[in-house]
Chains A and B, each alone.
Chain A
Amino acid sequence: MIFVTVGMHTKGFDRLLKKMDEIAAASDEEVVMQIGHTSFRPQNAKWFDFTTESGIKEWCKKARVVVTQPAMSVLDAQEQGTPVVVVPRLKQYDEVIDDHQLDFARELEKQGKVIAVYDVDKLEEALKQVDLKPLELVKDKRLVNALKKYIAQFEGARRLK
């Protein structure tokens, strides 16, 4: 099963969902889509607009591959050990306010965390070739530790007052 998720974004992502609907029509593999604020309604795939945190995680876990925008949903999928294909939302299609997702997709791709597809016409091929070795989830503890450090500092400063 392929799970497509476009998150909570206030803009739709018609370009991706239309392409995935086409792919679903031509494939034997089930496609499930979380469409968010997208106005397009898939014809060949099961879809819903939003679900809960645990709902998203469950779909990500069941899926062979998750197709999403390069955003926090990448984390949801990787936490479930599912390979991720990202398609950046682009400003030129009014899918997002700037092209930061393009920068982010390139970086994640460089780090080997995702497969990035910049042209939706190449999506079908990419989905066939998803290398199924699960990506190793490396959770960076530095940020959590930095936060703990600042919290302790603020607490210490308060006690001295």
Chain B
Amino acid sequence: MLALKEAFEGHETFFITYDSIRTRQLERKYLLRNIGTNPLVMAQAFMSTVIILLREKPKLIVSTGSEIAIPAFYLAKLLGIKTIFIESWTRVDRPTGTGKIVYPVSDVFLVQWERLLSKYGKKARYEGAIL
């Protein structure tokens, strides 16, 4: 996401991300536990994300994954917040689990390889990649 930060210049931003030595250095952030495939941690992430979104009231959520995007995107749909999902640059042929789950509720859905378009529906677009 930091590789794309130029796109957000002039806008107020905050992060919801996983807690790690790298993310602790971000300026305005909410750090959650790594979800992986643990349903209990996913439920906790939903709770935390509701509180964060109600407090911050963002106009737009942009995500490059991973599972942490799932609560944010579904709650955004309920709260009327716009969403942009950017599938990982590392995904040439295979969609991510998260991508498939958030596809139906994303306002804009971008992939970083043209070939991956065939694995998603009509909404998906290819508009270049980070490198």
Contacts and interface: CB of A to CB of B under 8 A. Distances in A.
B91 A104 contact: yes
Contacts, number: 97
A145 B7 CA distance: 7
Contact of B90 (A52, A54, A70, A78): A70
B89 to A, nearest CB: 7
Contact of A146 (B18, B36, B92, B127): B127
Contact of A52 (B3, B21, B34, B110): B21
Task: Summarize A's interface: helix, strand, loop or mixed.
Answer: helix
B120 to A, nearest CB: 15
Interface stretch (A14-22, A59-67, A136-144): A136-144
Contact of A100 (B20, B21, B91): B91
Nearest to B92: A103
B49 interface: no
A100 B2 CA distance: 22
B4 A154 contact: no
Nearest to B112: A143
Interface string B68-106: 000000000000001010100111111000000000000
Nearest to A147: B7
Interface in A36-56: 50-54, 56
B36 A140 contact: no
How many A residues are at the interface, by size bracket? 35 or more
Contact of B127 (A71, A78, A106, A143): A143
Contacts of A140: 128-131
A151 B6 contact: no
Given A140-B128, A144-B7, A154-B60, A104 B34 contact: no
A150 B59 CA distance: 12
A52 B25 contact: yes
Contacts of A98: 94
Given A10-B36, A100-B90, A107-B113, A147 B84 contact: yes
Interface string A82-123: 000000000000000011110110110000010000000000
Given A75-B89, A148-B7, 17 more contacts: A8-B18, A10-B36, A52-B22, A53-B22, A70-B90, A72-B90, A98-B94, A100-B93, A140-B128, A140-B130, A143-B128, A145-B127, A145-B128, A146-B110, A150-B108, A151-B60, A154-B107
Interface of B: 2-4, 6-8, 11, 18, 20-22, 25, 34, 36, 59-60, 62, 82, 84, 86, 89-94, 107-108, 110, 112-113, 125, 127-131
Interface of A: 8, 10, 50-54, 56, 70-72, 74-75, 78, 98-101, 103-104, 106-107, 113, 137-148, 150-151, 154-155, 158
